[in-house]
Amino acid sequence: MNICVLGDSISKGVVFDGISSRYNQLKDNYVSLLKKKFGFAIENFSKFGCTVTKGLAMLDFHKDKVSQSQYVLIEYGGNDSDFHWDEVAKEPDAVHFPMTTREDFRSKYNAMIDEIQSIGATPILLNLPPIDAQRFFDRVSQGKSRENILHYLGGDVQYIYRWHESYNLEISSIAYDKKVPLIDIRTAFLLDKNSKELLCEDGMHPSEKGHMLIAQSISDYLEKAS
């Protein structure tokens, strides 16, 4: 079985170190854990900060290798749903657009699925780990006007969670409409009683324990599919 991965920093294995306030790559990320368990080749074309728009470019660049894969894991949405928070902080009453609008996100995600299928591989979508809205807010507002960002959010930090969830729902809807497999990693996070331990201090990137949970969810699917 050959697998390749198209995704953002989550699939790249990036974690946030709250002590140093730096992003590092986790050695035992979920892709590495899958390699160790199954022993098959996994090409990881994920990139820090990647959106579905950049993902399409990555797919085009690596098309030959992707075509040799049986399955293609796709994980996008976190960066797509994000905002330019420095601009929000400066002009909280202005209209601000996410990195990718939901309409554009859906269109380009569909195009990615079509392209993967056209070259003979099977796309498998991953939905999004939940965001810890308060931790995320604390991180993105560092060095900026917290008051202005909160004003833009309507005074409710949890709006960040709901906005992020709207992109997660788009992924589920895309999978349903395109009739492609979806691995539900989000529910595994939500049902864990120690869910705060599954995310880094930035409230967005899965921790080492979070990557173990993602690996287990994908492993369960692959074992049933094989």
Given 3-state DSSP classes, what are the helix, strand and coil percentages for the chain, each rounded to the nearest 5? 50, 15, 35
Map residue 95 onto helix, strand or coil.
coil
SS (H, E, C) 162-195: HHHHHHHHHHHHHHHHHCCCEECHHHHHHHCCCH
**DSSP string over 19-77:** TTTEEEE-TT-HHHHHHHHH---EEE---TT--HHHHHHHHHHTHHHHHT-SEEEEE--
Indicate which CATH number applies to the domain containing 123.
3.40.50.1110
Q: Please check whether residue 138 lies inside any domain of the structure.
A: no
State how many domains the chain has. 1
Domain range enclosing 112? 3-83+99-130+168-196+205-225
* Cβ neighbours, 10 Å, residue 159: 15
- Which pTM value belongs to this model? 0.95
Q: Please check whether residue 11 lies inside any domain of the structure.
A: yes
Q: Please check whether residue 161 lies inside any domain of the structure.
A: no
Q: Please check whether residue 150 lies inside any domain of the structure.
A: no
Q: Please check whether residue 145 lies inside any domain of the structure.
A: no
DSSP assignment, residue 143? T
Q: Please check whether residue 120 lies inside any domain of the structure.
A: yes
Per-residue pLDDT of the chain (226 residues; tens, 9 = 90+): 789 999 999 999 999 998 888 999 999 999 999 999 999 889 999 999 999 999 999 999 999 999 999 999 999 999 999 999 999 999 999 999 999 999 999 999 999 999 999 999 999 999 999 999 999 999 999 999 999 999 999 999 999 999 999 999 999 999 999 999 999 999 999 999 988 899 999 999 999 999 999 999 999 999 988 7
Residues 6+ apart with CB under 8 A from 207: 15, 197, 198, 199, 200
Q: Please check whether residue 162 lies inside any domain of the structure.
A: no
Q: Please check whether residue 122 lies inside any domain of the structure.
A: yes
